[in-house]
Structures are given as C-alpha cells and as structure tokens.
A and B are shown apart, each in its own frame.
Chain A
Amino acid sequence: MALSHFFKHLSFASSNGFCTLSRRFIHPSLTSLFKNINGKTQPSIPTKISHPLSHCYTSASEPASSTLLSPYLSVRIQCRKDIADMFSEALMCFGATSITVDEDDNCDTSNEICIESIFPESEDVDVCISQAADSVGLKEKPSYEVETGEHYDWIKKTQESFDPVEVSEGLWIVPEWKTPPDAEATNIILNPGLAFGTGEHPTTRLCLLLLRRLIKGGEYFLDYGTGSGILAIAALKFGASLSVGIDIDPLAITSARHNAALNDIGPEKLRLRLVSGNTSSPSIDEHKDVRKQTSCEMVVEPEHARYDVIVANILLNPLLELADDIVSHAKPGAPIGLSGILSEQIPCIINRYSPLLDNISVTEMDDWACLSGRKKLTGN
C-alpha cells in the first residue's frame, strides 16, 4: 500500500523526544522529518491533490535526528507462571517500556508463560533481565529472544481496524481505503494517520452532532485543536463557507491537509495553521521556529472576534488554560463548543467558562461530555 510508505516516515519513536512533551511541542528535528516526506511521497500521492506537501516545510535547516525513527527492541521471555506478575513489575523498574502477556500463548499443561516486552533500542536487554530476575529471586536467568521491531508494523495494523462509521443519520465517516456504504449520504473520507479524530470516539461524535445543529450555511468556522481535521471538514460539508483548523502538532496539520484533499476541499476553503504550543495567542509569533515553518503556508491569522462558530475538542487542562484565547476568536453571541472532557470534569469547565459564555448546555455520551454556549455579548 503506497500510503504505508508515507506513514512510515510520519512515525517517530524516540522516547527522549517525547518525555518533554507537555504543551511545548515544536521539536526542531521534526522539520527535517517533513523534508524526508517531500522526497518520498510525491510519486505516490494521487493526482487529485492540488496542494502537494512539497510546498511546506522546505525551509528546514536542522540536521536529521536519527533517534526519531529508531526501531524498538521486542523481547520474548519465558518464565514461570507463578512469578510472572512480579517479574513483569521488576522488568518495568529496570528499563522495559512495556510488558505484554498474551493469553493465547498460555498452555495449560506447562507452567511456563511467555512475556513479550518492549525496550528502547539503546537499552541493554541482558543486564536488565538479569537485574529483574535477581530482584525477584529467580535462580537462573530466564531464556529470551530479541528481535527488532519496525514502526510501520504497528501503524499498519491499527489502520486495518478502521471501518466506516455512521455518526448520525446520513453522516458517515469512511476510511480512505474503504468504499462508502451509502453513496448518497454525507461522507467524510479520512485517513487519520497519527492524529486524533477517526469519528468513532464519543467526543468526536458529540462535536459532529453539535456542528450539525449549529451550522446553517455560510459561517466562518474555527477548529481549535484540529487533529485529523475531521470537524473542520464536516463543517464545510454542512455548509460553512470557510474553515480554519489550528493545532500545535505538525503531524495533525499534515494529516488534516491530506484529509482535506481526500474530500476535494482546497486550501482556500480549509486553512490549516500550526501554532506554537505555549499559551500566548497564536497570531503573535515570537517563537522563531514556528515562524520559519509557517512562512510558506497559506496563512490566515485566526483573527480575534471573527468566527461564527468555534469548536475545541482537546483536553481539560488546555481548555482551562486557553479559555480566554478560545473565546476571543468568536464574534459576540457566537456559539462555542468544548469537548474532550469526561463527565466528572464538567463542573470544572463550567466554572471556568461561565464568566465568558451564556446559555451553557451539556450533552453527554458514554463517559464523555460536550459543552456548548454562546459568547457573551458584552465585554470583548
């Protein structure tokens, strides 16, 4: 599949790249990652994409970091069933990043169990296993075998599991490699890659249902934290005249751009912008890296007080911190939707947003909630 090639370069593995991932995301070596993508994917992208990726991120100058694409080590260890639990805990303490116990491998007759463990490539597996065995009290070191895993293996596997999903009547989300079950309905074609938003998650559904009620036609829509771009694309399909999607994750922007192309939406109708991950307003870029990266995008500043509808489907803490910023982009009286919160987090969000929004109402699905309100008419 040509796209697996594309996503091989989208993946990045280094654990040290992500330990510092709070909200300051822009990792300089990612710009070089996109330089790799330019070279590789041009022959395989279908011709209907009018805005190829090669226009962006060509100004990268940082050297490529090899640790981003380094594979991981997958180790299978045999050990006795009764101490398997303690041994797994010990392995985690000594350097394993994950431990998996496969139920299928359990043979009722033998008392041996097979543990599969994943280590970062730089880790010394032998030392780690001996230390773990010692701490648990095993007399001899258990037998194990090591293999190196590549990223496209697991990315491909997860992509295989997406099926078309009917979010509500007449609205389907269809993965790129499947055909829409109902050609007449509103179909959003997606390839989420590593960004959030396949349409299956309750928060995405809640936001889509909210959008369907709010968008009457001709609005300017802001998708704050766009992920795969699904909400921005849906807004356009429901009749909005312009969608702007912003995100702090460059992968999300790439993914959203790809999805826009899949749905025949050009960059004038769906504008995407990478913003810096700190709490300053996205339109003022003191951050040098971001300016360099966005210099070649078709940029529309998410200007203040210009949007008719805003939806932010992120997480509780960013919603609390960015409340003022999110609301400032809306016209007075404009509806704003917030999601990515659990039902138990609702009081906290209502508390934070009640000085800013009127008519706050909450919809819930499973354990998740979506809050919507209108920006207050007085004040800014």
Chain B
Amino acid sequence: MSTLKEILTRRPVAATIRLTVPAGGARPAPPVGPALGQYRLNLMAFCKDFNARTQKYKPDTPMAVTITAFKDNTFEFTVKSPSVTWYLKKAAGIESGSSRPGHVIATTLSVRHIYEIAKIKQSDPYCQYMSLESICKSIIGTANTVGIKVVKELD
C-alpha cells in the first residue's frame, strides 16, 4: 500500500509508453526518439540509464521497457526481460512460430531449455512470487501457442 506521503507527492502522469529497445543499444533515434521526444523527456538520460541497467544482458537482446512520463517532464521506467516467445524462438533457432499452432508443430525443445528460460524469467518483477515449476508450466503453455513441442530429451 502506498504511504500517505507517496499519495500526496504522486506526480500526475502524462503518458505510459511501451517500447522494445535492444539491450545496451538505446539511442535517440526511433523507436526511442519520437516516442519520448513527444513528451519532452530527456532522451540522453533515458538512453544512458537504460544502457547502464541492461549491461548484464547480451547486447541487442530486445528488452521490453515501460516508461511512465510525468507531466513535469520527468519519467520513470521499468525494464522487463524479453518475452518468453522470443526466448523460445531463440532456443529453437527459428525465426517465427508455426503458422497453425496446435495443428502443425514447428520444432521441439527439451525440458532443459524450458528450465533455463524459467530461471531467467524468475528475475522478472512479475514472476518473482511464482515457483519455478509454475513458471515452467506457463512457458510450456506459451510454447504450445507457437507450435513448439516440449519433450523430455532431445535426440
């Protein structure tokens, strides 16, 4: 629950911006530029901040970032790790999922891959309360929607 002080000093929000930016590669060019420039946010401060915080990821991994722009031209942002589908596609080495998920299988992955992905996802803000097992189950569910089958061992 927010404290009373937080509620009183809560700044009015001008907009919420969602972006995909490569890790360590934020620059004041599209997509960052037009989206943030519109609300007169300090582009270079965002780029530097974002790049510093994403140093631990492999360069050019597309990170999902949500920026809250306040009316006084300040902003806050949270960075999420790339989407599960991106990790799945990367692990399987495919560009796009199956065209008919559920009917046509694009490729297969082993349980070990899912486990590795789940470990990365566990550090995401919205997954922290979930057990590793439930994160794995949710990843398998996502894999099914893109036509990736999960097997115990890859032969």
How far is B41's CA from A88's CA once the two chains are assembled, in angstroms? Answer: 21
How far is B32's CA from A21's CA once the two chains are assembled, in angstroms? Answer: 15
Surface stretch bound by A, among B21-29, B105-113, B118-126 = B21-29
Q: Tell me if B35 is interfacial: C-beta within 8 Å of chain A.
A: yes
* Contact (A100, B29) CB under 8 Å given A154-B38, A203-B48: no
Chain B residue numbers with a CB within 8 Å of A315 are: 24, 48, 51-52, 55
Cβ of B15 and Cβ of A102 under 8 Å apart?
Answer: yes
Q: Tell me if A171 is interfacial: C-beta within 8 Å of chain B.
A: no
Cβ of A13 and Cβ of B30 under 8 Å apart?
Answer: yes
Q: Tell me if A175 is interfacial: C-beta within 8 Å of chain B.
A: no
Chain B interface size band reads 35 or more
Give the contacts of A64-93 with B (CB-CB under 8 A). Answer: 72, 74, 88-89, 92-93
Chain B residue numbers with a CB within 8 Å of A161 are: 40, 42, 73
Q: Tell me if A48 is interfacial: C-beta within 8 Å of chain B.
A: no
Interface residue ranges, B against A (CB under 8 Å): 12-20, 22, 24-25, 27-38, 40-45, 47-48, 51-53, 55, 59-60, 64, 73, 83, 85
How far is B58's CA from A317's CA once the two chains are assembled, in angstroms? Answer: 11
Cβ of B37 and Cβ of A92 under 8 Å apart?
Answer: no
Interface of B is mostly: mixed
* Contact (A118, B31) CB under 8 Å given A100-B15, A102-B15: yes
Cβ of B25 and Cβ of A21 under 8 Å apart?
Answer: yes
How far is B37's CA from A196's CA once the two chains are assembled, in angstroms? Answer: 15
Interface residue ranges, A against B (CB under 8 Å): 11-13, 15, 18-22, 72, 74, 88-89, 92-93, 97-104, 118, 120, 149, 151, 153-155, 157-158, 160-161, 192, 194-198, 200-201, 203, 315-317, 340-342, 345, 368
Cβ of A72 and Cβ of B43 under 8 Å apart?
Answer: no
Chain A residue numbers with a CB within 8 Å of B16 are: 100-101, 103
* Contact (A18, B59) CB under 8 Å given A92-B64, A118-B35: no
Interface of A is mostly: mixed
Closest residue on chain B to residue A317 by CB atoms: B55
Cβ of A200 and Cβ of B14 under 8 Å apart?
Answer: no
Chain B residue numbers with a CB within 8 Å of A19 are: 22, 60
Chain B residue numbers with a CB within 8 Å of A101 are: 15-17
Cβ of B34 and Cβ of A154 under 8 Å apart?
Answer: yes
Pick the 5 closest A-B CB pairs, nearest first.
A154-B37, A97-B31, A98-B35, A316-B55, A98-B31
Cβ of A155 and Cβ of B37 under 8 Å apart?
Answer: yes
Cβ of B37 and Cβ of A98 under 8 Å apart?
Answer: no
Closest residue on chain A to residue B47 by CB atoms: A196
Chain A residue numbers with a CB within 8 Å of B15 are: 100-104
Chain A residue numbers with a CB within 8 Å of B19 are: 97-99
Closest residue on chain B to residue A15 by CB atoms: B30
How far is B20's CA from A67's CA once the two chains are assembled, in angstroms? Answer: 20
Cβ of A153 and Cβ of B37 under 8 Å apart?
Answer: yes
Chain A residue numbers with a CB within 8 Å of B20 are: 92, 97-98
How far is B28's CA from A195's CA once the two chains are assembled, in angstroms? Answer: 9
Cβ of A192 and Cβ of B34 under 8 Å apart?
Answer: no
Chain A residue numbers with a CB within 8 Å of B85 are: 93
- Closest CB-CB distance, A371 to chain B, in whole Å? 14
Interface-central residue, A88, A158, A201, A315, by most chain B CB under 10 Å: A158
